[in-house]
Amino acid sequence: MHSRRAILYMPGDDRRKIQKATTLGVDSICMDMEDGVAANKKAEAREVIAGAMKELDFGKSERCIRINQIGSGLEKRDLIAALATNPDTIVVPKVETAEQVKWVSEHIETYELSSKLNIGSVRLLVGVETAKGIMNLKEIAEADKRLEAIIFGGEDFAASVGAVRTKDATELLYARQAVVTACAANDLQAIDIVFIDFKDEAGLRAEAEEGARFGFSGKQIIHPNQVEVTQEAFTPSDEAIKYAKRIVESFESSQKEGKGAYALDGKMIDMPLLKNAQKVLDRAKAAGKSKTSATDYTDFHGNLKRKSV
Amino acid sequence: MHSRRAILYMPGDDRRKIQKATTLGVDSICMDMEDGVAANKKAEAREVIAGAMKELDFGKSERCIRINQIGSGLEKRDLIAALATNPDTIVVPKVETAEQVKWVSEHIETYELSSKLNIGSVRLLVGVETAKGIMNLKEIAEADKRLEAIIFGGEDFAASVGAVRTKDATELLYARQAVVTACAANDLQAIDIVFIDFKDEAGLRAEAEEGARFGFSGKQIIHPNQVEVTQEAFTPSDEAIKYAKRIVESFESSQKEGKGAYALDGKMIDMPLLKNAQKVLDRAKAAGKSKTSATDYTDFHGNLKRKSV
Amino acid sequence: MHSRRAILYMPGDDRRKIQKATTLGVDSICMDMEDGVAANKKAEAREVIAGAMKELDFGKSERCIRINQIGSGLEKRDLIAALATNPDTIVVPKVETAEQVKWVSEHIETYELSSKLNIGSVRLLVGVETAKGIMNLKEIAEADKRLEAIIFGGEDFAASVGAVRTKDATELLYARQAVVTACAANDLQAIDIVFIDFKDEAGLRAEAEEGARFGFSGKQIIHPNQVEVTQEAFTPSDEAIKYAKRIVESFESSQKEGKGAYALDGKMIDMPLLKNAQKVLDRAKAAGKSKTSATDYTDFHGNLKRKSV
């Protein structure tokens, strides 16, 4: 699966900003037709995005297009326009039901068939950003195999429940961890909230690191300054990689010696810690920081289902 | 919907306390037939409430009556006695299933029909106060359109799961945020836990403000001293109202200029922040602090479904 | 229900460690065939456990055997071998669906029938340790009446969602409280996470006390040093017992006087606080610290459904 440590939103009607985004080395660029575009600029956004997709070199960055939400009256025209640019990924905001996920995926499939593309070649990400979306998380996460990630919209969710956004984001804890859990249960990436104050680098770093600790795979960002800090937070540190390698190696040799759980630096190491270590190595590899990934190691039980990142 | 920043419980068998409650300017007064009344005083409570409803002037305060829980054997007689007083609102404690909500609502409807009242004229609030209730939150919140709010009983819930109540209430975080989410998904008010120590004003203020930040619309209270602090906490501050107005106004003009997201004081403002600002203005209006409410502003997308508070 | 303040895991292939466990006065000993045993020692573990069950005196400690997870290919042979030792309890790790619970329970029932044991004489505990297990908690908790407890595996869960385990365990808050709630709704015990660092007694104590405050009935442990601290944390303090007795007694007399809610030390006492006090006394009794349990007190409403601990 494509690494999505940071997904950078850029207004779809602003060619200059989209161009800027392509120079940043960000994992994913999301050209927005929705909230980032004024109501009277929606048609213009479709055209500007089409031009950008045709003329700009996005490098390794994933080319995502966010359409307007289903029920806005704009979604169908947006989707047709977005697919016509041959994007990597469609992003659907404010999804509230499994049916909405299936509706979009089916339209994408029709496009793939008529364009002689392989089925499944266009990826799908959805935003869950309302109370209703959180209530239907399980069904949304299970809805369609095209789906690769759920993006949790913290500001929108707070507005939806009438919560006040704070720096420590306690008001979002339940919803954020519900999203992480539903995603993991379906081998989806979970993408964390935007940090609005783009001048507060320390605040961004803290929130991004917390997101990584919670199990998010990446974070939405809204400003070029946020790319580096965010992607760093979702990349394992050298120290963490080193420790993970020690666990994997010592586990292998202890298994050969017929030991199950064993002590390393005074801590009992067993299967769950091994799996955690393997995830660290997978993430390191996806971020280009490690040559070996845990996937290269023997799967001891034959049932450690892990997604490749 | 009636503003319920504070719901003050008074024992149904104590006329003096009910009378006192009517003088406090509290949003809702809940005359209790349940836990606040001893087992051998249940019949007396029904009579005292009937007298109070007939003879006292409750001013703008909502006149709620809490019956005993379904399954107690008291619920039917309580409900009949409560409805006979022509109350604004029936409160049902310890609800655990959607069926219980429907059962009460249907009985109320029968009363409305036979009394030539409009269907829906008697409001319904339910308490969710047990582990089972939290497990069935989704179904309870969707059960009946007469339902206006879910009241989360923190002490009872703690007893139900064997938790120890602490001042910071971490043990209730999951359940409180689950209630807020389920309510918001169904346009219900969420009413927060009681703060037991009625002499600790600072503690009450902190807990009430946290509840407001989480998205609760109000809080249960058990003492006259708690009215002012609680209602204040659920009323937006002058500063918050002023900032919300600036967001709404600047959003309107930026839309006219064809801008989507834009910066205000160094923060990106877009649709979710606008909606949050609108909620603040709605609450301010409900609390009598603002003449304009967000409802008076243009609905840009035509799909910003917001409840009037 | 058997008290399970601490469940101590011992590798099933290590007779010396199992023997040590029987000397510790721990509520439950779990002889492990799963993660604590290397892949090439699984058959040996079955034999060592059989020998230990035959020859060792476990005193009052519950004799649990943890089989390998369903789907590992080992589960059936493990279960047959485990049942043949006539254990108190079967523990199934990494349960993800209700069907898995039923599958095991049915196999146990077949064994009970063919061994002329009473149906229900072998107890069942299941581990929920993955995102999928948490998503299906409600169904798992309701799956089978043989089930007595759900054990939450924090390390495995963290690995499953890609979270980083921290000392304050914020990354597990949602899942831990979801487990407590689902258990309480079905009168099951909830057993909390392992504290890995077995040399950090203060850390263990803090985490165990937090678990008790959240409503867990006990905690998994992995080292003899952890028994005392853990069991203490899940036993009410003398002070808590004394206060609980005062509440129960004052409640009784206030009911006789016809008072409902009343003040004790400046706090309003009513039904939920009474029930909490009763739980404290139940736990004290189960831990051998109190002669009377709350179950001995009058049930005022006739509907205070409480499990005996």
Residue-wise burial string across A160-194, b where 16 or more C-beta atoms lie within 10 A, e elsewhere: bbbbbbeeebbbbbbbbbbbbbbbbbbbbbbbbbb
Residue-wise burial string across C224-233, b where 16 or more C-beta atoms lie within 10 A, e elsewhere: bebbebbbbb
The predicted model gives C23-45 an average pLDDT of 94
Whether the predicted pLDDT of A302 surpasses 60: no
Cβ separation A160–B266 shorter than 8 A: no
pLDDT tens string B86-97 = 999 999 999 999
Q: Nearest chain C Cα to A274, which residue? A: C159
- Which carries the bigger pLDDT value, residue B272 or residue C150? C150
> Rounded distance, CA C37 to CA C43, Å?
10
**Contact residues, chain B, for C182 at CB < 8 Å:** 131, 135
Mean pLDDT of chain A: 90
> Rounded distance, CA C281 to CA A53, Å?
69
pLDDT tens string B132-184 = 999 999 999 999 999 999 999 999 999 999 999 999 999 999 999 999 999 99
Residue C282: the pLDDT is: 83
**C243 touches C290 (CB < 8 A):** no
Q: Nearest chain A Cα to B262, which residue? A: A36
pLDDT tens string B17-54 = 999 999 999 999 999 999 889 888 999 999 999 999 99
Residue A267: the pLDDT is: 67
Percent of chain C with pLDDT over 90: 75
**C137 touches C182 (CB < 8 A):** yes
Question: In Å, how far is B139's CA from the nearest CA of chain A?
Answer: 11
- Which carries the bigger pLDDT value, residue A257 or residue B94? B94
Closest CA to A243 of C153, C202, C199, C164: C164
Q: How confident is the model at residue B285 (pLDDT cuts 50, 70, 90)?
A: confident
Residue A292: the pLDDT is: 53
Q: What is the dihedral of CA A215, A217, A221, A226, to 10 degrees?
A: 90
**Residues of C identified as active-site:** 270
- Tell me which of C172, C179, C213, C247 to substitute to probe the interface with B (most B C-beta atoms closer than 10 Å): C213
Residue-wise burial string across A79-104, b where 16 or more C-beta atoms lie within 10 A, e elsewhere: bebbbebebbbbbbbbbbbbebbebb
- Which carries the bigger pLDDT value, residue A278 or residue A173? A173
Residue A237: the pLDDT is: 87
Question: In Å, how far is C253's CA from the nearest CA of chain A?
Answer: 41
- Tell me which of C1, C152, C268, C299 to substitute to probe the interface with B (most B C-beta atoms closer than 10 Å): C268
Q: Quote the ipTM score.
A: 0.88
Give pTM, 2 decimals. 0.90
Q: At what angle do helices C271-286 and C238-256 cross, to 10 degrees?
A: 140
- Which carries the bigger pLDDT value, residue A27 or residue C73? A27
Q: How confident is the model at residue A290 (pLDDT cuts 50, 70, 90)?
A: low
pLDDT tens string C255-287 = 888 777 677 876 667 777 788 888 889 888 878
Which of B36, B37, B174 is closest, CB to CB, to C177?
Answer: B174
Give the amino acid at A243. Answer: Y
pLDDT tens string B174-215 = 999 999 999 999 999 999 999 999 999 999 999 999 999 999
Radius of gyration of chain B (CA): 20
**Contact residues, chain A, for B183 at CB < 8 Å:** 131, 161
- Token pair for B87: 């109350």
Q: Where does chain B show beta strands of DSSP type E?
A: 6-11, 28-32, 62-66, 89-92, 123-128, 147-152, 189-192, 218-221, 262-264, 267-269
Residue B292: the pLDDT is: 52
Give the amino acid at A181. Answer: T
Question: In Å, how far is C13's CA from the nearest CA of chain A?
Answer: 9
Residue B64: the pLDDT is: 98
Q: Where does B28-159 show beta strands of DSSP type E?
A: 28-32, 62-66, 89-92, 123-128, 147-152
CA atoms within 13 A on the CB side of C106: 7
Residue C174: the pLDDT is: 98
- Which carries the bigger pLDDT value, residue A199 or residue A305? A199
Residue C296: the pLDDT is: 43
SS3 for A270?
coil
Mean pLDDT of chain B: 90
Residue A147: the pLDDT is: 98
Whether the predicted pLDDT of C30 surpasses 90: yes
Residue A305: the pLDDT is: 33
Residue C305: the pLDDT is: 33
Question: In Å, how far is B279's CA from the nearest CA of chain A?
Answer: 7
pLDDT tens string C182-230 = 999 999 999 999 999 999 999 999 999 999 999 999 999 999 999 999 9
CA atoms within 13 A on the CB side of C112: 18
Helices (H), chain A: 15-21, 42-55, 75-84, 98-114, 131-135, 137-141, 154-161, 173-185, 201-214, 226-233, 238-256, 271-286
Residue C40: the pLDDT is: 87
Instruction: Map out the domains of chain A with their CATH numbers.
Output: 6-233 (3.20.20.60), 238-296 (no CATH)
Distant-in-sequence, close-in-space partners of B47: CB < 8 Å, separation ≥ 6: none
**A296 touches A245 (CB < 8 A):** no
Which of B13, B153, B196 is closest, CB to CB, to C267?
Answer: B196
> Rounded distance, CA A308 to CA A288, Å?
14
> Rounded distance, CA B160 to CA B93, Å?
14
pLDDT tens string B102-139 = 999 999 999 999 999 999 999 999 999 999 999 999 99
The predicted model gives C100-113 an average pLDDT of 98
Q: What phi and psi, each to the nearest 5 degrees, are found at residue A17?
A: -70, -40
> Rounded distance, CA C131 to CA A190, Å?
13
> Taking an 8 Å Cβ-Cβ cutoff, which residues of chain C contact chain A?
11, 13, 32, 34-41, 69, 71-73, 129-132, 134-135, 153, 155-156, 158-166, 170-171, 173-175, 196-199, 222-223
> Rounded distance, CA A125 to CA C26, Å?
49
Mean pLDDT of chain C: 90
